[in-house]
Amino acid sequence: MVVINSNQRKPIFLYIGFLFFCICFFLWPLRAPNNNSNGSRKSSSLVSHPSMLHHPNLPDVNDPPAWQNTTRVKAAFVILTRNNELDALRKTIQQLEARFNHKFNYPYVFLNDVEFTEEFIELTSSLTNAETKYGLIPKEHWSYPDWIDIEKADRLRKEMEEKGIIYGGSLSYRHMCRFNSGFFYKHPLLQDYEYYWRVEPSVEFYCDIDYDPFLYMKENNKKYGWTISLIEFEATIPTLWETTKQFIKENRELIAKNNLIDFISNDNGNSYNLCHFWSNFEIGDLKFLRSPEYTAFFDYLDKSGGFFYERWGDAPVHSIAVGLFLNKSEVQFFNDIGYKHDPFIHCPVARELQLKCHCNAEDNFDLTPNSCMRRWVELR
């Protein structure tokens, strides 16, 4: 028979106590109906979000719904799209209205590099009671700037295409990325707004959003909000980080004191770890994009030619800017907004958040190897 004396018992009790603590601390928030071993293990910090009960900024459960508060932010959805994406976009707007905007009625700004068709205007405006505006992008925001060597750009595009790099051969994709990086917020239709929510055709919204994320951003001094973060294709941005480092060297005074460099670099800024916020979803403060530091950064990148000679995406550009110019408290992870842009899904896994969603927590991208969520969670 095994006999345990009193000296041995003490460590055993301690061990059992510790085990119990670990179970409560790590597993309690994970009691999602469909927990599995890979996608749904989350630490408690992953489930914090503005619509959780007990959040300091939220009213008591007995208070009237948030949309009955008539305070609205100067904000709009911004949708850059082509006429031929109409059907994909209608599906997206239908979900966005059903999940959020029929309660809050924020306006839509549609942007295009060619005129929108009558059909597009009719079949999008009919899906919402909110105001809809349709804008043509000025030519100078969607064309080569005069310092670009067009023959060199043509040749490098061809080379990227031959290497099989995604969108490597597309000129319009490059105009799109450059426009989203440095121009959409300068469009006349956006001048009256303080915040934007970027939406693309085909994206899906899986959960009811019963509070106003714009108001949340404003009241909590948040400047950038996201739902999915991931690793960039390195072949699209070979010199982006070197160019950024040169910018930093020449503009040290513009870098935030408590910046988020550890989200985008594993070695204190020496190299880029390719982490970025997926910019097909963004809720942001337009003041940030219009700030002197963001303007200086975009202009510097633009002058280097990488939007055309390589294939710099607006996602790494925005994310690096967030990493350099903001601090963590100004950046919001919208865990509660269930969202899909093919092929990835952010689906909240906590049971409280699942209640009003139609996604499967097992499909959540956050803790898969290509997600940068762990990096985010580890940030102090």
Ligand X SMILES: Nc1nc2c(ncn2[C@@H]2O[C@H](COP(=O)(O)OP(=O)(O)O)[C@@H](O)[C@H]2O)c(=O)[nH]1
Exactly one of 41, 58, 67, 113 binds ligand X (CB under 6 A); that residue is 113
**Shortest Å distance, C-beta 119 to ligand X:** 15
Binding mask 46-85 for ligand X (x = CB under 6 A): ----------------------------------xxx--x
In the bound complex, what is the minimum distance in angstroms from residue 49's beta carbon to ligand X? 25
Q: How many residues does the chain have?
A: 380
Q: In angstroms, what is the minimal distance from the CB of 369 to ligand X?
A: 20
- 201 binding ligand X? (CB under 6 A): yes
* 200 sits near ligand X (criterion: CB under 6 A): yes
Asked if 204 interacts with Mg ion (CB under 5 A), we say no
Residue 289 carries which DSSP code? Answer: H
**Cβ-contact 111, 198 below 8 angstroms:** no
Q: Does 124 bind ligand X (CB under 6 A)?
A: no
DSSP-derived secondary structure for 218-277: HHTT--EEES-EEE--GGG-TTHHHHHHHHHHH-GGGS-TTB-HHHH-SSTTSS---EEE
Nearer to ligand X, 60 or 342 (CB): 342
In the chain the first and final C-alpha atoms are separated, in Å, by 50
With binding defined as CB under 6 A, does residue 112 bind ligand X? yes
> What is the C-alpha to C-alpha distance for residues 29 and 45, in angstroms, rounded to an integer?
10
Which CB sits closer to ligand X, 113 or 194? 113
DSSP state of 138: P
Is residue 357 at the binding interface for ligand X, with CB under 6 A as the rule?
A: no
Is 204 assigned a catalytic role?
Answer: no
| Cβ pair 228, 278 in contact under 8 A | yes
The least CB distance from residue 14 to Mg ion, in Å, is 53
Give 80 or 209: the residue with its C-beta nearer to ligand X: 80
- 340 CB-near residues (< 8 Å, 6+ apart): 203, 204, 206, 346, 359
Query: In the structure encoding, which two tokens stand for residue 75, read together?
Result: 């904000």
Report, in Å, the least distance between residue 173 CB and ligand X. Answer: 6
Q: What is the dihedral of CA 153, 154, 160, 165, to 10 degrees?
A: 90
Chosen from ligand X, Mg ion, none, partner binding at 358 (C-beta under 5 to 8 Å by type): none
Nearer to ligand X (CB atom), residue 85 or residue 208: 85
Q: Is-cis flag, bond preceding 201, omega within 30?
A: no
**DSSP code of residue 143:** S
User: Pick from Mg ion, ligand X, none: which does 113 bind, CB < 5 to 8 A by kind?
Assistant: ligand X
Is residue 172 at the binding interface for ligand X, with CB under 6 A as the rule? yes
Pair 361, 349: CB distance under 8 Å:
yes
CA distance 158 to 162: 6
Closer of 200 and 293 to Mg ion (Cβ):
200
- What DSSP state is assigned to residue 281? S
Nearer to ligand X, 178 or 222 (CB): 178
Show the beta-strand stretches assigned E in 199-314.
204-205, 224-226, 229-231, 275-277, 282-285
CB 320 within 8 A of CB 248: no
- The yes or no reply on residue 92 touching ligand X (CB under 6 A) is no
- Token pair in block for residue 71: 């305070």
- Token pair 């499967």 is at which residue? 360
**Stretches 131-139, 145-153, 277-285, 372-380: which one binds Mg ion (CB under 5 A)?**
277-285
Q: Which does 227 bind (CB under 5 to 8 A by kind): Mg ion, ligand X, none?
A: none
Catalytic residue among 119, 200, 232, 282: 282
If binding is defined by CB under 6 A, does position 293 make contact with ligand X?
A: no
CB 77 within 8 A of CB 106: yes
Q: Assess 200 for contact with Mg ion (CB under 5 A).
A: yes
Q: What six digits make up the tokens of 44?
A: 């408690």
* Contacts of ligand X in 5-44 (CB under 6 A): none
194 binds, among ligand X, Mg ion, none (CB under 5 to 8 A by kind): none
Q: Which spans of this chain sit near ligand X (rule: CB under 6 A)?
A: 80-82, 85, 112-113, 172, 176, 200-201, 280
User: Active-site positions?
Assistant: 282
